[in-house]
Structure 1
Amino acid sequence: MPDRFVVHLEGRDLELSNLDKLMFPAAGFTKGEVIDYYTRIAPVLLPHLRDRPVTRIRYPNGVDGVHFFEKNKPGGTPGWVRLATLPVPGSTKSRETIDFVVVDELPTLVWLANLAAIELHTPQWRIGADPDLLVVDLDPGAPAGLRECGAVAVLMRDRLAEDGITAYPKTSGKKGMQLCCPLAGTQNAEVVAGYAKRIAEELARLVPGSITAKMAKQLRPGKIFIDWSQNNAAKTTVTPYSLRAGAAPTASTPLTWAETEAMATGEIEARQFTPAEVLTRVETHGDLLADLREPGPPVPHL
């Protein structure tokens, strides 16, 4: 196979390169396989990326090499890639605005995959709108793990339901999991984050031996940290179905509540999923997070 060649995809010409380069050396997983996964998962991934500025984590020489976060459009960005110029208050590079990439179509997704953008992260809001998602990250402190995350997820699901908010679980693709809740999109990030913090603190008081709502790392061993701060307007969360960088490729995987409960009780193994498994799951379940695209309720005011 040549090092570089052009493909024609949905009316766009893309140059692909070095498809045999190892992105996950320990697993023998190549850049060509990264592109193949993103191409095949695109029907369920693209709706979660659409109209959201995407932050990429790029690994030009594979997951064992140097990586970097990228928000601004990279050099050589094709003219057909959708860009959104957005303010970035507090930028570490003293920039008032950034030209973000927006992934609305398959060619843009494949173009990013060819740039070794292994991880894709998006905010809880769509461009020009207030947050339409509430997201909490359940981060386990060893020896707690994904099984304990599942137990806290069920507890949080039930508490959110008391306020009429429906939660959908997914693995993070690394060690924890997240809950995603559709909102009305009529409240700003400060209101949503304030509500998430209040619920996290309430659950931490209820089960102080297993849950913390404080960010201090010394408080986390053996507990699940409910990271309510994911709802800050400047924060992003790994997008559903995105690959994650590690020794072996995994992906952020939507779960059913039956699976989450079974993980929490030990009936099934609590683990992350490979790209091949995620594709098989989509064939079986479709997009378990499809309802996130429908408006939910507003969060209760404090």
Structure 2
Amino acid sequence: MVEVEGRRLKLTNLEKVLYPADGFTKAHVIDYYRQVAPYLLAHLAERPVTLKRFPDGVDAPSFFEKNASRQAPEWLRTMTLPTPGSSKGAETLDFAMLDDLPGLVWAANLAALELHVPQWTVGPRGGVRDPDLLVFDLDPGPDTTVVDCCRAAELIRSLVEADGLTAFPKTSGSKGLQLYVPVRVGNPERTSAYARAIAQRLAAEDPSRYVAVMAKARRSGRVFVDWSQNNPAKTTIAPYSLRAREHPTVSTPVTWREVERCRHPSDLTFTAPDVLARLDKHGDLLADLHKQPGRLPR
């Protein structure tokens, strides 16, 4: 039993190795989330969290958990939200709202390595707000890497800047790159339509390098410009979340200079210790993400 900011928590199996290649244990995971909390919590705030749990480590079966565990402590804040199209047929689910360090430590103790959030927030009474973010998920197909994703990101940056918008890059923590574009919209469908148009434009102008459809048969040698995560029912890996890869890599905010200079996948691969060192040096590169949201063109 431990006490975290006045909340009592039972931590279990701290010695269990969750990343065998590095000997990275559950204790290491909890400690990483403890240290990154001042930055991560700002990006989880007011967003219902979908946990991806790996109870026996990254090499073993995993599962998504939207409904807050029945074992959740009574102090954990949850929101009952509609879940249209739920694979389990549920009309609503109780999502965890990880808005403090105890909640984050609770999730880490469940081996929830990955924290996924939507592009919208909820109000204090559970009202779902319109999206405040637009996201492009740049996914390298076979024979491509994050280096190719960087070239796509530079093109997208130019296109959205021409529309008066600002793009913020971060790694996916897996193989690709993601761009956040802060927006203010009055219709939740607008972000998806805009992102789709940008993705289709890239694919039309350079079909040998970019594709805007999910069909895997068409992705070899190309970057898939995935606009579909702007669907209000979908989520994206949160900034500073771990990923369940061979090593404890993290979805890491990066500078545009780093994107422009990327020539090898290792240039944009960051593990938990790397990210903590980067935060000491740079602070949160997404700190200004929501300061000046743009309006989508009509």
Aligned partners of 1:95 and 1:269: how far apart in 2?
42
For the Cα contact (< 8 Å) 1:187–1:298, is it kept in 2? no
> Structure 2: which 5+ runs fail to align?
123-127
Contact 1:146 1:270 in 2 (8 A): no
Contact preservation (8 Å) 2:146, 2:265: no
Q: What CA deviation, in whole Å up to 9, does each residue of 1:193-246 have, x standing for no partner? A: 001001111111111111111111111011111001110000100000000001
Pairwise CA distance, 1:190: 1.2
2:84 pairs with 1:89: yes
Specify the alignment match of 1:3 in structure 2: none
Secondary structure at the aligned position of 2:268 is classed as coil
Gaps of 5+ in 1: 1-5
Q: In structure 2, what residue type is equivalent to 1:63?
A: V
- 2:296 equivalent in structure 1: 299
Q: Deviations over 1:159-184 (max 9, x none)?
A: 11000110000000010010001112
| 3-state SS in 2 of match to 1:100 | strand
- 1:262–1:94 CA distance, 2 compared to 1 (3 A): same
1:202 aligns with 2:179: no
Q: For the residues of structure 2 that align with 1:39 and 1:82, how far apart are their CA atoms? A: 18
TM, length-normalised to structure 1? 0.95
Match of 2:31 in 1: 36
Q: In the TM superposition, what is the alpha-carbon distance from 1:295 to its structure 2 partner?
A: 4.2
Q: CA deviation at 1:269?
A: 4.4
SS in 1 for 2:114: strand
SS at match of 1:120: strand
Deviation of 1:267 after TM superposition, in Å, equals 7.9
Matches within 5 A, 1:207-286: 207-263=206-262, 266=263, 269-286=266-283
Q: How does 1:144-223 map to 2 (within 5 A)?
A: 144-184=144-184, 186-223=185-222
Does the aligned pair in 1 maintain the 2:145–2:265 contact within 8 Å? no
Contact 2:52 2:114 in 1 (8 A): yes
1:16 to 11, 17, 32: 11
AA aligned opposite 1:106: L
1:114 aligns with 2:109: yes
Q: Which amino acid aligns with 1:138?
A: L
Instruction: For residues 4-43 of structure 1, give each alpha carbon's deviation from its aligned partner in whole angstroms, at most 9, with x where no partner exists.
Output: xx11111111111111100111211000000000000011
Aligned to 2:138: 138
Note the alpha carbon deviations across 1:120-169, whole angstroms, 9 max, x for none.
00000001210000001000002110100011101100111000110000
What is the one-letter code of the residue matched to 2:196?
A: K
1:262–1:268 CA contact under 8 A, matched in 2: no
Aligned to 1:290: 287
CA distance in 1, matches of 2:225, 2:130: 22
Q: Find the aligned partners of 1:131 and 1:242 in 2 and give their Cα distance.
A: 21
Residue 175 of structure 2 aligns to a residue in which SS? coil
CA RMSD of aligned residues (A): 1.2
Conserved? CA contact 2:117–2:236, under 8 Å: yes
> Any conservation in 2 of the 1:119–1:238 contact (CA below 8 Å)?
yes
Whose strand fraction is larger, Structure 1's or Structure 2's?
Answer: 1
CA contact (8 A) 2:163 2:297 kept: yes
What SS does structure 2 have at the residue aligned with 1:251? coil
Cα offset, 1:247, TM superposition: 1.3
Q: TM-score, normalised by structure 2?
A: 0.96
